[in-house]
Chains A and B, each alone.
Chain A
Amino acid sequence: MKTAKLTLNRKRSLLGIAFILPWLIGFIFLFATPLVQSVRFSFSKLVIAPSGYDLEFLAWDNFRNALFVDANFNRVLTSSVTDMLLNVPMILFFSLFSATLLNQKYRGRVLARAIFFLPVILASNAVAAAESSGLINLMGDASVVDEMGQSTSGYNVMSMVMLLSEAGLPMSFIDYIVNAILRIYDIITSSGVQILIFLAALQSVPGTMYEVAKMEGATAYESFWKITFPMVSPLILTNVIYTIIDSFSGSAVTDLIYTTAFKTQNFGLSSAMSWLYSLLVGVILVIIGVVLSKRVHYN
């Protein structure tokens, strides 16, 4: 009896392994191996030979070069990681806000939803690159583009800065808000998937909860903070992680790593840079994960 059960179990595990086999092969040959190789490259000087490549061990030289010698890496790394960290709360706020807005019942909701998710489709780095280089071409100089971007936003922020500082808000916070307003387009276009996830979460909140709250005399505002927010809070963590991962693809660090490898042919340095980037992001993810998962409400 026992052996029969064992074989059934064994059969089930073999079947399971058969199902994940394509992924397992891919993982071993196209993820784990390159990952280990990438570690090796980051400690070596890599020269491309007609048949493969030659490695020359350099110890920590690549990392030292990336951090202390390379003119751009530190600056690009800190600026894009800070940008990412600043973007996360704004994207979260905006996507939760839009999701609540899209979850209400009114005429034209279908159209509004269709438009709000359009950025998911149109978020293309290729298009962004073509647009900015087209503009640079038009202006003849990259520096003009920045100035033009500021002037065409067509909204005088100073009045708002004055208003907020009159209201007694700290200056750094005002900076943050104003910055968010000026970059509203970026924020909107990068929160499509997040809105989708929040919307799905909102739809899964049972309507009876709101009915009870209404009968007990809770206002819409109270029921948002007492019901909606705790119910969608697990998804906040998901969305934070998604936002961070999503920022990899268009980030300036990725571009720098790419050009270091394929334009200047310094593969070792590029691997070292990418490891530094991964480690930094990893540490941030762990910190955010630990902090948020304690505050999240699971039912």
Chain B
Amino acid sequence: MAAAESVEAKANQSVEADERSYRMQRIQNKTADFLYSIFRYFLVTGISFIIIYPLLMKISVAVKDPQDIYNPTIYMLPVHYTLENIRMAMQILDYFPMLGNTLLFVTVTTLLTAASCSLAGYGFARFAFPGSNLLFAFVIMTILIPSSTLMVPMYLHFRNFDVIGIIGGITGKDGINLLNTYWPSVIMSATAIGLKAGLFIYIFRQFFKGLPKEIEEAALIDGAGGIRTFASIMLPNAVSPILTVVLFSFVWQYNDTFYTSLFMSESSLIPLKVASLPAQANQLIPTLLGMGGANVKADPNQVAMIVDTGILLAILPLIVLYLLVQRYFVESVERTGIIG
């Protein structure tokens, strides 16, 4: 009897001990998790701060009154607020007409790129024609070869643009000069050879390859032709790659300086104007302040302020766009199957 009791007591004890050690373990785990999550917050906040710091600085500068420039006690938050900088930067940049131009240009090229790249991506994903693999290797080649290699011939090509002598035959001249018009970029995006178009073709191809073949076969049996199948079956299913391509194409086109300065160096587009902003600000600020005359030099600090404000104005549309669509940004890339 006593022996049985002691056995029971021992068992109880060991259960208790187990429970205690289990509790200890849990507390340990919990503290570890807690410490880790604090550490993670530190990391994420730190990196986020590095990323948005320049943006915060620009916003702070944009609303700062010039009389605060030489006040050393000011950090980020100005004492005197003003909208003068924004007004001046807008005037120097000729903001709204330029923004309109840029948005029109970027939208047109983006839509053309998405259209031509989705067609090509679908063609490569679903049809086996002679040489299709070789041609797809060429697509990869267009991604890999630096565009500077093609710069000079492209420039000359668009300077005397001609399609196999047709235009020359009609007008009697050696082609037409398309430089400083939107045509070079429009033609390039319509033919899926523009800015990073190879990458977009690749994205579309990967996505269409991942779609089940059965839906197309069903459409084919129901009597839809190839183009009909593409337009009414495949495209509605391809929302996420379309979104990805449109987003990236829009952003890259908006920020591109390479092709715009090559083909349209005199056009009023945001990337070009922003790049030349410091020089212009230097020239125009004295006049805008009403201190005309060739010898008056603007305060370099104020020029820097205006330049920062101008940059902020230039990227503002993108930030607004990004805030609206950033939710889709990650999701769409996840769903394109680019990782497959």
Contact = CB atoms under 8 A, between A and B. Distances in A.
B333 A16 contact: no
A277 B278 contact: no
B149 A274 contact: yes
Contacts of B329: 117, 120, 196
A1 interface: no
Given A116-B47, A196-B330, A126 B274 contact: yes
B277 interface: yes
B338 A115 contact: no
A133 B310 CA distance: 13
Interface residues of B, number: 96
Interface string B287-329: 0000000000000110110011011001100110011001101
10 shortest interchain CB distances as A-B pairs: A16-B127, A26-B191, A19-B123, A13-B129, A34-B153, A124-B255, A26-B193, A20-B123, A23-B120, A37-B153
21 contacts: A19-B119, A19-B123, A22-B116, A26-B193, A29-B163, A30-B193, A34-B150, A34-B154, A38-B153, A101-B44, A115-B51, A116-B47, A118-B319, A134-B277, A137-B278, A137-B303, A188-B51, A196-B329, A254-B146, A258-B151, A271-B149
Given A19-B127, A27-B193, A200 B48 contact: no
A35 B145 contact: yes
Contacts of B132: 16
B130 A185 contact: no
Interface in A1-38: 12-20, 22-27, 29-35, 37-38
Contact of A127 (B148, B157, B311, B334): B311
A284 to B, nearest CB: 11
Contact of B314 (A46, A127, A249): A127
A154 interface: no
A170 to B, nearest CB: 27
A112 B330 CA distance: 12
Nearest to A242: B199
Nearest to B321: A121
B278 A134 contact: yes
Interface stretch (B2-10, B80-88, B135-143): B135-143
B166 interface: no
Given A15-B227, A117-B329, A201-B339, 11 more contacts: A12-B129, A19-B119, A23-B201, A25-B191, A30-B157, A101-B43, A108-B41, A125-B258, A126-B257, A258-B151, A261-B155
Interface residues of A, number: 94
Interface of B: 37, 40-41, 43-44, 47-48, 50-52, 55, 116-117, 119-120, 122-124, 126-130, 132, 135, 138-139, 142-157, 160, 163, 173-174, 187-188, 190-193, 197, 201, 226-227, 230, 251, 254-255, 257-258, 262, 270-272, 274-275, 277-279, 282, 300-301, 303-304, 307-308, 310-311, 314-315, 318-319, 322-323, 326-327, 329-330, 333-334, 336, 338-339
Contact of A130 (B47, B157, B310): B310
A168 B239 CA distance: 54
Contacts of B163: 29
A299 B59 CA distance: 48
A140 B188 CA distance: 40
Contacts of A138: 300-301, 303-304
A71 to B, nearest CB: 19
Contacts of A16: 123, 126-129, 132
Nearest to B226: A15
Interface of A: 12-20, 22-27, 29-35, 37-38, 41, 46, 48, 51-53, 98, 101, 104, 106, 108, 110, 112-127, 129-131, 133-135, 137-138, 140, 184-185, 188-189, 196-197, 199-201, 203-204, 234-235, 241, 245, 248-249, 253-254, 257-258, 261-262, 267, 270-271, 274-275, 277-278, 281-282, 285
B148 A277 contact: yes
B164 to A, nearest CB: 9
Nearest to A273: B148
A29 B191 CA distance: 10
B138 A27 contact: yes
A35 B146 CA distance: 11
Contacts of A123: 255
Given A26-B191, A106-B40, A135 B334 contact: no
A38 B124 CA distance: 28
Contacts of A201: 339
B321 to A, nearest CB: 8
A297 to B, nearest CB: 14
Given A31-B193, A51-B174, A127-B315, A134 B127 contact: no
